Structure 1
Amino acid sequence: MNFKLDRSAKTPLYKQIASYIENGISTGDFSPDIPLPSERHLAKELQVNRSTVVAAYDELQSIGIVERRKGSGTHISTDIWGISDKRIPNWGRYVEDGSFLPNLPLVQKIRTETQNNEMINMASGELAADLFPAEQFHSIFKEKPFTEHLGYDHPQGNVRLRETISNHLYKYKRISIDAESILITSGAQQALHLIVQCLLKPGDAVAIENPSYAYSLPLFKSAGLRPFLLKSSKNGINPDDIVELHKKHRIRMVFINPDFQNPTGVQMPLSRRKRILDISSEYGIPVVEDDPYSITTFDGNVSASLKRMDDNGNVLYISSLSKIVASGLRIGWIVGPKKVIQRLADAKQQIDFGHSIFPQWVANEFIGSPQFDEHIHKIRKQLEVRRKQLSKALIHFLGDQAEFMEPDGGIHLWCKLKDPVDEFQLLDESLKRGVAFVPGSIFGESKGFVRFTYGRSTPTDIWEGISRFSKALQHLRGK
Structure 2
Amino acid sequence: MEWRPDRTAKKAVYKQIADYIEQGISTGLYSSESALPSERLLAKELGVNRSTVVAAYEELKSLGIVERKKGSGTRISTDIWGISHKRIPNWGRYMEDGSFLPNLPLVQRIRTENQKRNIINLSSGELSPGLLPREQFKTIMAENPFLDHLGYDHPQGNAALRETIAHHVKEYKKIHTLPASILITSGAQQALHLIIQCLLKPGDSIAIEDPSYCYSLPIFQSAGINTFLLPVDQHGINPDDVIALHRKHRIRMLFLNPDFQNPTGLKMSPARRKRILEISSELGIPIIEDDPYSLTSFNSEVSDTLKSMDGNGNVLYISSLSKIVASGLRIGWVIGPENVIERLADAKQQVDFGHSIFPQWAANEFLKSPSFDKHIHMIRSELKIRRDEIVVSLDQYVKKEVDYFIPEGGIHIWCRLKHAVNEQQLLEESMKRGLSFVPGSVFGSQKRYVRFTFGREETDVIGEGIARFAEALSVCVKT
TM-score range, shorter chain: over 0.9
Return the letter of the residue paired with 2:89: P
Match in the other structure for 2:307 = 307
Distance change in 2, residues 1:418/1:5 (3 Å): farther
Return the letter of the residue paired with 1:335: I
The Cα offsets for residues 93-115 of structure 1, whole Å up to 9 and x where unpaired, read as: 11111111111111111111111
Per-residue deviation, 1:240: 1.5
Segment drifting more, 221-230 vs 141-150: 141-150
Q: Partners of 1:14 and 1:472 in 2: how far apart?
A: 40
Contact 1:13 1:52 in 2 (8 A): no
Q: Partners of 1:105 and 1:52 in 2: how far apart?
A: 24
Per-residue deviation, 1:123: 0.6
Match in the other structure for 2:271 = 271
Instruction: Tell me whether 1:183 sits opposite 2:190 in the alignment.
Output: no
Q: What is the TM-score with the length of structure 1 in the denominator?
A: 0.94
SS at match of 2:192: helix
Q: Partners of 1:324 and 1:276 in 2: how far apart?
A: 27
Distance change in 2, residues 1:79/1:381 (3 Å): closer
Per-residue deviation, 1:429: 1.2
CA RMSD of aligned residues (A): 2.3
Segment drifting more, 31-40 vs 231-240: 31-40
Match in the other structure for 2:59 = 56
Match in the other structure for 2:217 = 217
The Cα offsets for residues 267-322 of structure 1, whole Å up to 9 and x where unpaired, read as: 00000000011011111111000000000000000000000011111100000000
Match in the other structure for 2:67 = 67
Q: Partners of 2:101 and 2:342 in 1: how far apart?
A: 27
Per-residue deviation, 1:468: 0.6
Q: Partners of 1:380 and 1:334 in 2: how far apart?
A: 24
Contact 1:156 1:354 in 2 (8 A): yes
SS at match of 1:298: coil
Contact 1:17 1:56 in 2 (8 A): no
Return the letter of the residue paired with 1:56: E
Per-residue deviation, 1:323: 0.2
Match in the other structure for 1:428 = 428
Instruction: Tell me whether 1:236 sits opposite 2:236 in the alignment.
Output: yes
Per-residue deviation, 1:54: 6.5
Per-residue deviation, 1:38: 5.9
Contact 1:265 1:413 in 2 (8 A): yes
Segment drifting more, 391-400 vs 407-416: 391-400
Contact 2:14 2:53 in 1 (8 A): no
Per-residue deviation, 1:36: 3.0
Contact 1:215 1:444 in 2 (8 A): yes
Q: Partners of 2:79 and 2:107 in 1: how far apart?
A: 40
**Unaligned regions of 5+ residues in structure 2, if any?**
none
Instruction: Tell me whether 1:412 sits opposite 2:415 in the alignment.
Output: no
Distance change in 2, residues 1:41/1:228 (3 Å): same
Contact 1:401 1:418 in 2 (8 A): yes
Instruction: Tell me whether 1:46 sits opposite 2:49 in the alignment.
Output: yes
Q: Partners of 1:144 and 1:181 in 2: how far apart?
A: 28
SS at match of 2:230: strand
SS at match of 2:191: helix
Per-residue deviation, 1:69: 5.3
> Percent of aligned pairs with the same residue?
63
Match in the other structure for 1:95 = 95
Q: Partners of 2:53 and 2:258 in 1: how far apart?
A: 52
Q: Partners of 1:147 and 1:470 in 2: how far apart?
A: 53
Match in the other structure for 2:327 = 327
Return the letter of the residue paired with 1:427: L
Q: Partners of 1:277 and 1:347 in 2: how far apart?
A: 28
SS at match of 1:208: strand
SS at match of 1:312: coil
The Cα offsets for residues 88-144 of structure 1, whole Å up to 9 and x where unpaired, read as: 111111111111111111111111111113111111111011000011111111111
Match in the other structure for 1:472 = 472
Per-residue deviation, 1:4: 7.2
Match in the other structure for 1:280 = 280
Per-residue deviation, 1:256: 0.2
Per-residue deviation, 1:19: 2.1
Q: Partners of 1:295 and 1:412 in 2: how far apart?
A: 14
Return the letter of the residue paired with 2:436: A
Q: How does 1:23-42 map to 2 (within 5 A)?
A: 23-26=23-26, 30-37=30-37
Per-residue deviation, 1:11: 4.4
Contact 1:18 1:59 in 2 (8 A): no
Q: What is the TM-score with the length of structure 2 in the denominator?
A: 0.94
Match in the other structure for 1:441 = 441
Contact 1:22 1:60 in 2 (8 A): no
Return the letter of the residue paired with 1:348: K
Distance change in 2, residues 1:476/1:199 (3 Å): same
Q: How does 1:14-163 map to 2 (within 5 A)?
A: 15-26=15-26, 30-37=30-37, 46-48=49-51, 52=55, 55-61=58-64, 65-68=65-68, 72-78=72-78, 80-81=80-81, 86-163=86-163
Contact 2:206 2:225 in 1 (8 A): yes
SS at match of 2:67: strand
Return the letter of the residue paired with 1:59: S
Return the letter of the residue paired with 1:292: P
Contact 1:152 1:354 in 2 (8 A): yes
SS at match of 1:251: coil
Distance change in 2, residues 1:12/1:120 (3 Å): farther
SS at match of 1:289: strand
Distance change in 2, residues 1:10/1:450 (3 Å): farther
Match in the other structure for 1:338 = 338
Contact 1:5 1:46 in 2 (8 A): no
Q: Partners of 2:109 and 2:7 in 1: how far apart?
A: 27
Distance change in 2, residues 1:153/1:391 (3 Å): same
Instruction: Tell me whether 1:348 sits opposite 2:348 in the alignment.
Output: yes
Q: Partners of 1:12 and 1:268 in 2: how far apart?
A: 43
Per-residue deviation, 1:30: 3.8
Contact 2:15 2:56 in 1 (8 A): no
Q: Partners of 1:258 and 1:212 in 2: how far apart?
A: 11
Per-residue deviation, 1:57: 3.7
SS at match of 1:351: helix
Q: Partners of 1:247 and 1:3 in 2: how far apart?
A: 42
Segment drifting more, 443-452 vs 72-81: 72-81
Q: Partners of 1:3 and 1:60 in 2: how far apart?
A: 23
Match in the other structure for 1:293 = 293
Q: Partners of 2:382 and 2:425 in 1: how far apart?
A: 32
Per-residue deviation, 1:84: 5.6
